[in-house]
Each structure stands twice: as structure tokens, then as C-alpha cells.
Amino acid sequence: MMDSMNPLLDFSGLPRFDAVQPEHVAPAIHQLLDENRTLIDTLVAPETPATWDRFVQPMLDAGERLSRAWGIVGHLHSVNDVPPWREAYNALLPEVSSFYAELGQNLALFAKFKQLSQGDEFSGLSPARRRIIENDLRDFRLSGAELPEERKPRFKEIQEELSALGAKFSENLLDATNAHAEWIEDESELAGLPEDAKAAAREAAAKEADDARRGGWKFSLHAPSYMPVMQFCDNRSLRERMYRAYATRASEFGKTEWDNGPLIERILALRDEEAAMLGYASYAEVSLATKMADTPSQVAAFLRDMARKARPFAERDVAELRDFAGKELGLEKLESWDIAWASEKLKQQRYSFSDDEVKQYFPEHKVLAGLFRVIESLFAVQLQADEAPAWHPDVRFFRIERDGRLIGRFYLDLYARDTKRGGAWMDEAVTRRRILNGVQTPVAYLNCNFPGPVGEGAQMRPATFSHDDVITLFHECGHGLHHLLTEVDELPVSGIHGVEWDAVELPSQFMENYCWEWDVLTGMTAHAETGKPLPRALYDRMIAAKNFQSGLFTLRQAEFALFDLLLHGAPEGRKAFMDLLAEVRAEVAVLLPPEWNRFPQSFSHIFAGGYAAGYYSYKWAEVLSADAYEAFEEAAKDCGTTLDPATGERFWREILAVGGSRPALESFRAFRGREPRPDALLRHSGMAVAA
């Protein structure tokens, strides 16, 4: 029975962020865990038939209540990581992890699913329901259901410890990021830095309690503060200090309790043990069991092929940069903290614009209007501002309608905060599924870490976003659309659920392409001071610069992905993770960072996210997304715009609407009429003629 006093147990509508408090977590989650365990005891009883309605559906209903409540807790841990929420989350994390580990190992449940899959009812189920059962059988095997009973407790311990280590990895990184600040007293030391970045740094300093600091500028390692310094500030000493602090976060060079190095070693050891227990040669094989790619060697070949094609372009990029830095900037040796700065100078000289100049044309309100126009034009929906309780005053809420009917809603949390984990991500609050009185409307969280407005009242300057920020926003909205525009009514394959991990980036990377279309940018730009739209001449220079250093970027992605894949490869003879990274860089990279760079200690994707042995997914899905976007480019030859509603409807029906109800490759074939090809990606990246 629902405790109406506990907002985490209220599933009647949206999350009650105006009411939920850390003290609600333990009672709510304990109650839901107890309810799920009691139900499972009933479901595995011999008298419960192995049918969809009597066995699967009740378990899905109960599981959704738990995942929704725990999802709210996890979300608040990510966006409001203050001590009470951190403590509440970490206190229950072992119990929740333990429950899911128990669930995956429950042999009686596994037997019931096998019974259902072999029974008369199975062939009469919808394709979506058959896929759910097949996925569940696979996941039971991957969760250790077929292990000997005496080995299951150890497997369960591994899952619980990995969950705790992932949370600790993120917390260490956030704490280490927050711990470092650079204070500047003399404005002359900030030459080259854009005015809005200086204003934000002055505002950050003014918020400090130490009155002696109020006259200066404070810079942090959070991206909106860190990136402008590295890209624009002429003060090489400041860039070096910030780079060193950033590159050594959560490592042995800082506080011992924040060092992620030992956590990495432990995570890898546990993943190795898990893989061995399941009968796999490596954790990479475990990871690929749920992906489009078949084997680690196939993925490695894909990455090395991309690196081979990109290398000539990357070598040219580096040679040009070093030559420019020596002749024009007086840098005899190009250091890691010079690369972004020198690259920006070279780009300005070559294309006669700076990223900061472009940024002035992307005020937040115009960016959102342009994004919404793209979505509305492609997918025949309407987006409107809405109201709902949120976790921070800056968060906004929107609704999506089609033909006057509500089909989805989402929260938009754009700005960086000290209590918010870094990066950008989409997560689900509510997933579409069929319920007794109709269809449950999906709800998403879209989270970014952009610079916010500066100043107060009449003096406030609205937030302006870099073009890279705009691309990030479109990317996360692609994930959101995948979740919100689904037409699948079965939760385990609705939206992003059940989609192979290396295909889940297809919609997000697809949406990025619109950030380069003239007929899109003309409607989403207005200079922060003059209100004038982006000039065509500046746009043309942006397009000319689009693939500036694309070879370097591709090699960087290949480096990260290959390191991840090999790190999770066969454990016998595996090198220490820093030695392995050095080996990968020797094979792939053309720019080598300092020996003391500790990139792995902040590689949250693979140690605290879901990308272990799966970081290659970004490049893999980029092949799919570029090929899919080529269909819109082909349509534009006839209709004059890539915002073609007919092609958009096909993309929606064959990719977004079907979610995980069928294999991603089938969905791609249904949309494109053929197998995916890498040609479009190489062309989009300016590497079509690569050897």
C-alpha cells in the first residue's frame, strides 16, 4: 500500500521535486524492495503460470515503481551532489545493487522465462514481447543465473562492489574538480580571454566568503571556466597551471582519498573475475554480448581502420600547428597546454573568425527556438513551455504534443554548478508503457554544463553558447527524442530501452548535423548586442573550418576507444593501465601529453558510466548517423531543405518510434533500404580521400 506521505512512492504523475528529501529515500526504497521480493516469491511459485499476463506483466509493473523511485534518487545525486543526497544515495546503493544482482541470479525466475519461451503462448506474442523475453534470457545468463549455487554469492558481491566503486569514482572526480581554483588579481594576466568568461570569473570570485578575494577573478576546473582559459587566454603560465590541475584530477598527485587509480585497478580486477565466472575470455566479450558488434577483434579492426584513414590528416594538422606556433606565436615547443590556444589562433588566422565571435550569435533563447523548430519540422510535433516542480530554479520544463495530444515532457537543466557532475547526458524520469487507463507519457531529463547568465537584474547578460555547446545540446536532445517519441508500449523495449549500446548514439549524433545547416542557423542566431542574425560570410567561414583538425579529433576518439577495448581485453599479460595507454598512444596518437597526465582517472564513461568496452560506440554509431543523415541530404536535392518532413517521418517511424523492439540493424535497413556504409562519415569529416 502506498505511503502517501512519502513523495518517492507517489507514481501518479511527475516526480515531486518540491517535496522529496533525503530522509524519504531509505523508507521508500526499502518498501519497494520488500514489495518486489514478495511479488517474486509469488511469481516463482509452481501455481503461477508462466504467461505474460500472470508472470511477466506483474514483475514489470513492480520493477518500474522501484526503478522510477531509485531513478529520482540517482538523478538528484548527479545534479545536486550535496552531502545529504550523497549520503542518502550511497546508503541505499548496496541494497539496490544487491537486489538487482539477486534478481539476475534467480534460477526459478530464469526457469519461468525459459518455460514461457518454450510454451504455446510464445509464438502468439507480439514481436516486441518476444524480444523482451529473449533479452531477459540473455541477461539472466549474463547475470550469473546459470552459475553453480555456491558461486552465486561471490558474483553478487562483485556487482555490489562495482556499483559502489562507480559511484565513488564519480564523487572523487567531482570533489577533485571542485578543490582547485586559480585566483587572478591583475586583469592584464587575462589578456585574450573573452569578456563573458572574465565576467563569470569575477562573479565567481565575488561569491566567495573571503572578502580579500572579492576584487579578483576566480577560475575553476569546470568546463565553462576551464575551456575558455585553455582556448583564449594568452597567459601561458595560467594555462599550464590549469592544464596540470585538470590533467591530474583524482590521481596520486592530489588527496589520497580522491585518487581513482586504486579504484580503476579494483574495477578491472572485478570485471575480469566476473567475465571468467561467466565463461568469457574477457570483460570485452561480456560487454559485446548486448551490442551490435560481434567480437572485440572486429571492434579493434574497425577502430584501427578509422585511425589509419585519419592519420595522414592528423599528421598534417600537427605539422601545420607546430609550424604556425613556431613562426607566428614564438613557441619553440608546443606543449599540451598550448594546443587549444594555438589551434584557436591558427583557426582565426586561416578562417578569420574566433569561437568567441561565433558564440555571440547564440543566445540561449534563440538556440532553443531553433532547436525546437528543427524537431517540430522533422517530426510533426509541437513543443511548449510547461510547469513542474524541479530541483533547481534554473531548470525548465517543456511538453511535446502531436495533433493536440500530449506525447512527452522533459526537464532542461542547462547550466554548470559545483554540485552537478560534469558533462552532458540524457536520462529517463518516466518511460512510455501501456497502463490500465491508457498509455503512460514518457518524461526525460536533459542535462548540460553550459555557462549561465552573468550579472543580476537589468544588468544580467543572457547566457550565450559556443557552437560546440549548441552541438552538445542537439546531441542530448537526440537521445531525448529517442526516449520521448517512441510508440512502443512495452517498457523493456520502449524508447532507448533494449537498444544495443553501440546503436543508441544514432539519433543523438544524427541531430548534430542540423547545427551546420544554413536554413537552421538563420533561425536560431541573434547577436547578443545587436540582435542581428549570423552573417552568411561568417557561416561560410564556419563551414570552411568545420573539419579543422578533424584528423586529430578522430585519432583522439580512436585512442580512447582502443584503450578502453584493450583495457577490458584478456587479462593475462595485461599491462598496468598507464602503460597500456602509453602503448595505445604510441600506436595511434600523433600528439603525446606529458607523462604525468592522468586521463584514465577522469574517464568516467568507462569506470562510472555504461561504456566499459563500449566507448567505440560513439564512432560506430557515427557511421550509422552520418549514413542516415545522408538520406536527408538526398531529399534536399528535391525539396531544397534537409528539414524534409517526409524523410523525417520515415526516420521517426523506423528508428525513433520502434525503440528497442527490433534489432538496430533491422531498423537501419528499414530506414535506409540497405546496410550502413562509412562513406558519408568520411565525407562529412573531410577524409573521403583518405588512403
pLDDT in tens, 585-611: 999 999 999 999 999 999 999 999 889
3-state helix, strand, coil in the chain (%, to 5): 60, 10, 35
Contacts of 465 (CB under 8 A, 6+ apart): 359, 362, 363, 364, 367, 450, 451, 473
Cα distance between residue 139 and residue 121, in whole Å = 21
Say yes or no: 218 and 126 in one domain.
no
Do 132 and 23 sit in the same domain of this protein?
yes
Higher pLDDT, 495 or 691: 495
- Domain total in the chain: 3
Q: Are residues 17 and 115 in the same domain?
A: yes
DSSP 661: S
pLDDT at 105 over 50: yes
> Which of 544, 566, 595 is where one domain is finished?
544
pLDDT tens sequence across 215-242: 799 999 999 999 999 999 999 999 999 9
Q: What is the DSSP letter of 353?
A: -
Residue pLDDT, tens place only, 176-202 = 999 999 999 999 999 999 999 999 999
- With beta carbons less than 8 A apart as the criterion, state whether 228 and 193 touch: yes
pLDDT exceeds cutoff 60 at 682 = yes
| pLDDT(500) > 50 | yes
Answer whether residue 153 is part of any domain: no
Task: Show Cβ contacts of residue 38 under 8 Å, excluding neighbours closer than 6 positions.
Answer: none
pLDDT at 690: 39
- Both 137 and 213 in one domain: the answer is no
CATH code where residue 369 lies: 1.10.1370.40
Note whether residue 14 is domain-resident: yes
Q: Is the pLDDT of residue 109 over 50?
A: yes
In terms of DSSP H, where are the helices of 608-658?
A: 617-639, 645-651
How high is the pLDDT of residue 458? 72
Active site residues: 476
| Predicted local distance difference test score (pLDDT) of residue 4 | 61
Q: Using pLDDT thresholds of 50, 70 and 90, give the confidence band for residue 210.
A: low
> Residue 486 pLDDT > 50, yes or no?
yes
pLDDT in tens, 513-541: 999 999 999 999 999 999 999 999 999 99
- Here the cell at position 667 is 531498423
**pLDDT score of 9:** 97
**Interatomic CA distance for residues 51 and 71, integer angstroms:** 28
Q: Residue with C-alpha cell 560506430? A: 620
Q: Over range 464-469, report the average pLDDT.
A: 96
Cα separation, 452 vs 393, whole angstroms: 12
- Give domain status of residue 609, yes or no: no
- Does residue 402 sit in the same domain as residue 523? yes
Domain boundary among 517, 544, 571: 544
With a cut of 90, say whether residue 213 has pLDDT above it.
no
CB proximity list for 116: less than 8 A, separation 6 or greater? 50, 51, 52, 55, 56, 122, 133
Q: Is 515 exposed, middle or buried (0-12, 13-18, 19+ CB in 10 A)?
A: buried
Q: Are residues 53 and 200 in the same domain?
A: no
List the domain range (segments joined by +) for residue 518.
Answer: 364-544
Per-residue pLDDT at 2 exceeds 80: no
pLDDT(461) > 90: no
Task: Report how far residue 243's alpha carbon sits from residue 486's, in angstroms, rounded to the nearest whole number.
Answer: 42
* Structure confidence by residue, pLDDT tens digits, 8-45: 999 999 999 999 999 999 999 999 999 999 999 999 99
42 in a domain, yes or no? yes
pLDDT per residue over 648-668, tens digit each? Answer: 999 999 999 999 999 999 999
Residue 400 near residue 409 (C-beta atoms within 8 A): yes
The CATH number assigned to the domain holding 46 equals 1.20.1050.40
Q: Is the pLDDT of residue 211 over 60?
A: no
The pLDDT of residue 344 is 96
472 occurs within a structural domain: yes
Mean pLDDT of the chain: 94
Q: Are residues 408 and 518 in the same domain?
A: yes
**549-587 pLDDT per residue, tens:** 999 999 999 999 999 999 999 888 889 999 999 999 999
Q: Is 330 left (phi over 0), alpha (psi -120 to 50) or beta?
A: left
Report residue 154's pLDDT band, with 50, 70 and 90 as the boundaries: very high
Tell me which of 174-183, 297-306, 679-688 is least confident.
Answer: 679-688
Residue 686 belongs to some domain of the structure: no
Q: Which residue has the cell 539496490?
A: 96
Q: State whether 191 and 111 are in the same domain.
A: no
| Residue 679 pLDDT > 80 | yes
Domain's final residue, options 95, 120, 146: 146
In a domain, 636, yes or no: no
The span from the CA of 241 to the CA of 237, in Å, is 6
Does residue 108 share a domain with residue 31?
yes
Task: Please tell me whether residues 84 and 219 are part of one structural domain.
Answer: no
Residue 1 has pLDDT above 50, yes or no: no
pTM, whole model, 2 decimals? 0.88
The reply to whether 46 and 139 lie within a common domain is yes
In a domain, residue 200? The reply is yes
Angle, vertex CA 126, rays to CA 100 and CA 669, nearest 5: 95
Claim to verify: residue 26 and residue 111 sit in the same structural domain: yes
